[in-house]
Amino acid sequence: MRKIMYYVHQSVDGFVEGPNGEFDWASLGPELSDYSLSLAERADLFLYGRTVWEMMSSYWPNAESIGTDEHGLAFAPIWREMPKVVLSTTLESADWNAQIIRDAEALREIKARPGKDILLTGSSTVAAALTDLGLLDEYHLIVHPVALGGGKPAYHPVKERLALKLAESRTFDNRTVLLRHDLATA
């Protein structure tokens, strides 16, 4: 069965956004960019919640005209071509090869289909809900050397304790740290 991978950037004090919703603190050097692209290569479907979808779909279709960083230039065509699923109960439509689904059962059906893995980027609220439903398989946490002092937390409370095992840790570009966890098996 396909895995759902959760990939998120967070501050050392546990936030994915600053107090005013800012995400200008995350920095992708060449090594972290390569890692990010390798996760996209493992996947044949990107998964988003509505808020992150709106951010991604406002940037990636025209990323080459907005910025010139190497990661953006490499990722933009991948993003445009990759099939996408948006979990939302309010979004009416989505373009850029995206399908809207309304509930976890639809996601279970997608996960059960043959294919490569599914990559959930950001969307900490969605990640918590999928964790509670037993749908997340891997957690790829990138810790950046910044304390934001508040904002949107990287983790929302889950219903029950979840045992994870550290599958990998390493540094990128001598400034960020990966903590990759998998579900612990008995």
Q: Classify 107 as helix, strand or coil.
A: helix
Taking the C-alpha atoms of residue 120 and residue 22, their distance in angstroms, rounded to an integer, is 20
The domains found in the chain, sorted by start residue, are: 4-183 (3.40.430.10)
Q: Model confidence over 110-163: pLDDT tens digits? A: 999 999 999 999 888 999 999 999 999 999 999 999 999 999 998 887 888 888
pTM of the model: 0.93
Residue 185 confidence (pLDDT) above 80: no
Is the pLDDT at 23 greater than 50, yes or no? yes
pLDDT band at 186 (very low <50, low <70, confident <90, very high): very low
CA 3 from centre of chain: 13
End-to-end CA distance of the chain: 19
- 49 Cβ contact partners less than 8 Å away, ≥ 6 residues apart: 86, 87, 88, 122, 123, 125, 126
